[in-house]
Amino acid sequence: MSLDELADKEPSSSEEVQLAPSDSKFRSIGPAPIPIPAPPSIRSLVDSVSDERVNVDIVASHQSENGSISTASSTGSLESEKAAYEFLAQTPVRSTDAHLVEFSEAMRTVAKALRRVAEGKAAAQAEAAEWKRKYELETAHKQQSKIKGYNSCISNDLDKLASQLTLETPAPDQLGCCGKHGICAHEVLQDEVPGPIPRSNHKVVGRKASFKLSWGCNGDKNGQHKHDFVSFEKGDITTAERSNKQILLKWESPPQTVLFITKPNSNSVRVLCAEMVRWLRESKNINIFVEPRVRKELLTEDSYYNFVQTWDNDEEIKMLHTKVDLIVTLGGDGTVLWAASLFKGPVPPVVAFALGSLGFMTPFPSEQYRELLDNVLNGPFSITLRNRIQCHVIRDAAKDEIMTEEPFLVLNEVTIDRGISSYLTNLEVYCDSSFVTCVQGDGLIISTTSGSTAYSLAAGGSMVHPQVPGILFTPICPHSLSFRPLILPEYVTLRVQVPYNSRGAAWASFDGKDRQQLSPGDALICSISPWPVPTACLVDSTTDFFRSIHEGLHWNLRKSQSFDGPRD
């Protein structure tokens, strides 16, 4: 029966009698008000209106039974039915629609983010594989160049190198040293017993097992024979000598050739250089090499200096280390940096005279140059081995080959900054095969321990003794308060890469010059060079270091506290 038929039908007396006893039943099963969590469907609205009409008819029948039916009840039912139809014609709840739209937008945003994450992960995996291949090519190229150029005894086979770095056990009947570049233990492990030892009745004394320590020769990592710094006795290993060992240089034959490197545009330096060259030539019969600029200045002053030699091209500079026994610099630390940059391979000892402002690497006073040069030429004298960082730039465009240009060698630091860009520098840093961090800020400084008192110190890095083997990792104004400087071991290889999603390019400077642009995808590989710069010491390495930070930086300089209290 439809709603219209149910509304027009007059209730009969029999129906009234049947409905009266079950009034409580209909009231108990009547629909209760239900909250609407979602837009109601048409079917649910029809059912609710039907239930409401049935309840209204039941109430009307009860009222007619009691003789109290009125026209107001029928009018109310008609109004209720009209309101129901009007509600059916309306659109579902608008507030619920707004929530649905917002929810769908949120789901669309999440889908986009997940898609970007998947694409980024795939791109990162492809990029990591590409850089692994480039790094292997770079490593193979470096090993081949060392073997061909410097007659090094290291091998390209990584398995052979690994076997050299492991602990090996010598044969029990071996009498001599187990290897050319190691320390054998079997000669000192056996407990000594005075007099002849009968094999039959002498009690056997227990001893430690013998072993050998081996390293790569010719300085596979830092150009030094490390067995000089290790002592061995009764199976116990100690490196106590390394911390207090001063390095002395003693001439096996008198030096014959001296190279002068001078600070330009200084009249006092020009006069001193001419005086020192004349004295060395006349009193010591020393051959003199100077820069082309300096030779021209000397000949302009006096034709006497015609004996001074120089070079004409870069090929002669490459062979300069085979002719020069000693380098004399007249200037400041910048002059020492320039002298070191002329030598891509071995560097002769450097005697640096202080004619600059600070002078961390120039301990010799120019007023006493005759006495000081006498001591150096006669020897022995203390030297400081200052490590240099070797830097290779790898372009993203070089897919199948590495750069053929020579690496950059720095004595102080290599700096990667954002240049004129207004964006933060975005750099990914790897140490060997491990990810270190992502640098976001003004840039990054990779410094030697000799350069720890230069740009790295100004950026918040620590002061480090120049003979401490290490690499300083110092951020420049990082965008994080917890980004603190690091000191890494000397044997690691650092790779600084500009990611593809970087907003701008980066710029690399090597000891403040040779500025190179690093575009997204380019990388810079840094490691310790096998050729350090030996600088002569006025006293010794440690004394000169503390003198430089006291006099140059006025380190911890303050007035002493006054004592005005009672005395005992």
H, E, C per residue of 6-62: HHHCCCCHHHHHHHCCCHHHHHHHCCCCCCCCCCCCHHHHHHHHHHHHHHHHHHHHH
Burial, 327: exposed, middle or buried (Cβ in 10 Å; 0-12, 13-18, 19+)? buried
Provide the token pair at 147.
């073997």
First to last CA, the chain: 119
Q: Which ranges constitute the DSSP H helices of 204-291? A: 240-244, 267-283
Give CA–CA dist 67/300, Å, rounded. 140
HSE (CB half, 13 Å, CA atoms) of 233? 4
The reported pLDDT for the residue numbered 131 is: 72
Torsion sign (Cα): 472, 477, 479, 484? positive
d(CA 254, CA 557): 43
What pLDDT shows up at residue 230? 52
pTM of the model: 0.61
CA distance 274 to 284: 15
Q: What is the pLDDT along the chain (568 residues), one digit of tens a residue?
A: 444 444 444 444 444 434 444 444 444 444 444 444 444 444 454 455 445 444 444 444 444 444 444 444 455 555 666 665 565 555 454 555 777 887 788 888 888 878 777 777 777 777 777 777 777 777 777 666 655 554 444 444 444 544 444 434 444 444 444 444 444 434 333 334 444 444 444 444 445 465 555 554 444 444 444 444 455 555 566 555 554 567 888 898 889 999 999 999 999 999 999 999 999 999 999 999 999 999 999 999 888 999 999 999 888 998 898 899 999 999 999 999 999 999 998 999 999 999 988 888 999 999 999 999 999 999 889 999 999 999 999 888 775 555 546 889 999 999 999 988 888 999 999 999 899 999 999 999 999 999 999 999 999 999 999 999 999 999 999 999 999 999 999 999 999 999 999 988 999 999 999 999 999 999 999 999 999 999 999 999 999 999 999 988 889 988 887 776 666 5
* pLDDT score for 165: 42
| CA 475 – CA 460 distance, rounded (Å) | 8
- CA distance linking residue 324 with residue 407, whole number of Å: 23
Instruction: Give the separation between CA 549 and CA 547, rounded to whole angstroms.
Output: 6
Which member of 333, 396, 511, 544 is catalytic? Answer: 333
The alpha carbon torsion through 213, 218, 224, 225 (nearest 10 deg) reads 30
333 is catalytic: yes
Query: Where do the structural domains in the chain lie, given as residue ranges?
Result: 257-378, 388-530
Buried/exposed 407-434: b ≥16 CB within 10 Å, e otherwise: bbbbbbbbbbbbbeeeebbbbbbbbeee
**Buried b vs exposed e over 199-208: b needs ≥16 C-beta within 10 Å?**
eeeeeeeeee
Task: Extract the tokens encoding 335.
Answer: 């002059």
Q: Where are the alpha helices (DSSP H) in 151-259?
A: 158-164, 186-189, 240-244
The CA-atom distances, in angstroms, between 95 and each of 86, 98, 123, 183, 444 are: 19, 5, 43, 84, 54
Q: What is the pLDDT of residues 450-495, one digit of tens each?
A: 999 999 999 999 999 999 999 999 999 999 999 999 999 999 999 9
E strand or H helix at 214: strand 212-214
The 3-state DSSP composition of the chain as helix, strand, coil percent (nearest 5) reads: 40, 20, 40
Phi-psi region of 465 (alpha: psi -120 to 50; beta: other; left: phi over 0): beta
Nearest to 432 by CA among 485, 491, 494: 494
- 144 vs 516: CA distance, rounded Å: 26
CATH code of 257-378, in short, is 3.40.50.10330
Specify which residues 527 forms β-bridges with: 390
Q: Which CATH architecture has domain 388-530?
A: Sandwich (2.60)
